[in-house]
Amino acid sequence: MKNTTKKIALTLLSTLFIIGNYFGNGKTTDTSCLQLSGKVLKLKTTSSNSYTVALMRDHKVVETKIIKGNREFKFTLKKNKFYTIQILKEGYVPRTVSIDTKLAEEHDGLYRFAFDTELIDESEAKNLNKKALDLPIAHISFNPKKRWFTYNEEYTKQVKKNIYSGHVQLNK
């Protein structure tokens, strides 16, 4: 009886030690690093009440969501990967956003980034720069100075200018 009690106590103590080491070190056990959320603004009320958001990695769709109304979408992204989000809605030009989740080892944990965007009606896009419309509207990455995920404001400003000006300038 005494040996059985010792074995149970030792097993319980070992289990608690393993669980403590697994959960107690403060580091995430998977490689998720960014919870990305977004919302499409100013959709016409006469159109369908939903849109599709596709998350892509390595030129393959890894997750698709159908979003109803003006609700937001969310994706949890893995560390040190490059993603593209494509927002699709019938009657609108597809919108893409690129995300680079490259992080140095010292940056651990789950970061959050939220954004809003607008889609361009296909009828309004007839006079716009088609090549510029195919570019991602934003590039999101980790900013080591700010210690947070941000978007490249200069890049987005240039893409918007190119969409409405009629010429594409990819590199400065």
Q: Total structural domains in the chain?
A: 1
pLDDT tens, residue by residue, 69-104: 888 999 999 999 999 999 999 889 999 999 999 998
> Which string of DSSP letters, residue by residue, matches 116-135?
EEEPPBTTTGGGS-HHHHTS
pLDDT in tens, 138-154: 999 999 999 899 999 99
pLDDT on residue 161: 93
| 117 in a structural domain | yes
Assigned token pair, 115: 């954004």
Distance CA 55, CA 38 (A): 12
pLDDT of residue 172: 46
CA–CA dist 163, 171 (Å, integer): 15
Confidence of residue 170 (pLDDT cuts 50, 70, 90): low
DSSP state of 92: B
Find the CATH number of the domain harbouring 89.
2.60.40.10
Amino acid at 22: Y
Q: Is residue 48 part of a domain?
A: yes
SS3 of residue 168 by DSSP:
coil
Q: Write out the two tokens for 165.
A: 């000006």
Residue 150: inside a domain, yes or no? Answer: yes
Q: What mean pLDDT is reported for the chain?
A: 81
Q: Which residues constitute the domain of residue 56? A: 29-165
